[in-house]
Structure 1
Amino acid sequence: MAAPTHASAPTPPGDRRTGSQQSTTPRPGLRERKKVKTRLAIRKETYRLIAEQGYEATTVERIAAAADVSPSTVFRYFPTKEDIVLADEYDPVIEAQLRARPAGEHPLDSIRRVIVRGVTSTVTAERDEMVQRTRLMVEIPAVRARMAQTMAATSTVLVRVIADRAGRPHDDLEVRVRVAAVMGALREVLLYWAERGHQDDLAELMDAALLGVGAGWRP
């Protein structure tokens, strides 16, 4: 979550559609598949290099060489090195899933269910990447700073959806404050999980934190 959307979104976290339902989704074209493949290769090599030689020693030039692309190509997909670590395509998925929740459901319940389901799916499929990403959030100030910026993008998505459901304008202060509390909780959970050596169940931590935030959030 929490980064500007790029070319093609992956399978939504927690997507439980049947095979027949999934088959109705148009398959990305060759160009889009190549973009996804390039992005994945850049990210894979970045994580490998960071694990081998550390964050600071992993330059964009080395990443480009390892991924067999030019440095300009890396920057075309990721504006900064921190974005390689943090960027994802989940904001449109989160928005679609929130808008699909029952209209009468409490907004925080909708957010909590979508986020927790997505985290569960992501940790199951990409635990090593999640561990490395959150460790870098703790250890590298530049990554942590960029994390705050990218989470602001997700905040904008959540504010838009919740405001629409409540029939309020997108700049409604109360909605913005409530969503800010949610995003702050998510940020602290990620840092807490990493600081404790990733031993806890991340989805359970997220669920408990969002329940706590919702204790003071009334319809």
Structure 2
Amino acid sequence: MCVISTHTKQSGGLRERKKAKAMAEVQKHAMRLFREQGYKATTVEQIAEAAEISYSTFFRYFSSKEDILTRDNYDPLLNDAFERQPDGLSPLQALKNAMVSEAAKLSEDELATMRERNELTISIPELWAAMMNANTRMMELIADMVAKRIGGQSDDFAIRTLAGAVVGVNISVTLQYAEHPDADFAKLLDEALTRLEQGLPV
């Protein structure tokens, strides 16, 4: 019984990773088109054609062109990594381990695409609202994960505050990485979350 359960979880994680990589491939083609002809001039049809997928398949991955820039493909993988953390860790320690371990698995191409997405989002004012919505979704995801781990409620103020702090750290790391593309993203994330764990000393 345990063996079957573990295998199912691993298979699910593998499916999620394959989907994340497929989404990253679409994002890579989209970013090339955005560079060549501009964000506003690029259509979903052009992105689908460049990625060699159908128009309908595009919408299995993304809800809109805007979603390409704001969707984090790796949220399901973060949830799996978080659930695998040992029971003795605090929620923040478990989050740090899960986030850093998943960041360390990103390929150079995936990191480059992520950095370029962030840079473009920062440069287009109308995308900031979409990014705020994405950050809110991430906060809700983290709150749900922590609540499940400790047997609490995701709308508990303390849990929401922790989730918001982690999202704030992620924004800080994203901006730092956009300004310093030669930095190690996983190390930046580890350092920032460690500072949060230590009470944000300055």
Same fold? TM cut 0.5:
yes
What is the CA–CA distance in structure 1 between the aligned matches of 2:111 and 2:174, rounded to whole Å?
13
Partner in structure 2 of residue 25 of structure 1: 11
Q: How does 1:21-100 map to 2 (within 5 A)?
A: 25=11, 39=23, 42-67=26-51, 74-75=58-59, 77-100=61-84
Q: Secondary structure at the match of 1:141?
A: coil
Code of the residue aligned with 2:97 in structure 1: it is R
What is the number of equivalent residue pairs in this alignment?
190
Gapped regions of structure 1 (runs ≥ 5): 1-20
Please identify, of 134-143 and 39-48, the stretch whose mean Cα deviation from structure 2 is larger: 39-48
| Identity level (%) | 34
Per-residue deviation, 1:93: 1.8
TM-score normalised by the chain length of structure 2: 0.77
Please identify, of 130-139 and 178-187, the stretch whose mean Cα deviation from structure 2 is larger: 130-139
Partner in structure 1 of residue 148 of structure 2: 164
What is the CA–CA distance in structure 2 between the aligned matches of 1:36 and 1:193, rounded to whole Å?
21
Cα pair 1:107 1:162 within 8 Å, conserved? yes
Partner in structure 1 of residue 110 of structure 2: 126
Q: Does 1:101 align with 2:85?
A: yes
Note the aligned Cα RMSD (angstroms).
Answer: 3.1
Q: Secondary structure at the match of 2:182?
A: coil
Code of the residue aligned with 1:99 in structure 2: it is E
Any idea what the Cα deviations from partners look like across 1:15-51, whole Å, max 9, x if unmatched? xxxxxx89x73786xxxx8x88985664343122112
Per-residue deviation, 1:192: 2.2
Q: Does 1:190 align with 2:186?
A: no
More helix, by proportion: 2
Cα pair 2:20 2:74 within 8 Å, conserved? no
Structure 1 105/155 Cα, relative in aligned 2: closer, same or farther at 3 Å? same
Code of the residue aligned with 1:148 in structure 2: it is M
What is the CA–CA distance in structure 1 between the aligned matches of 2:143 and 2:106, rounded to whole Å?
23
Any idea what the Cα deviations from partners look like across 1:44-85, whole Å, max 9, x if unmatched? 431221122222222334324434566565445422212123
TM-score normalised by the chain length of structure 1: 0.72
Gapped regions of structure 2 (runs ≥ 5): 1-6
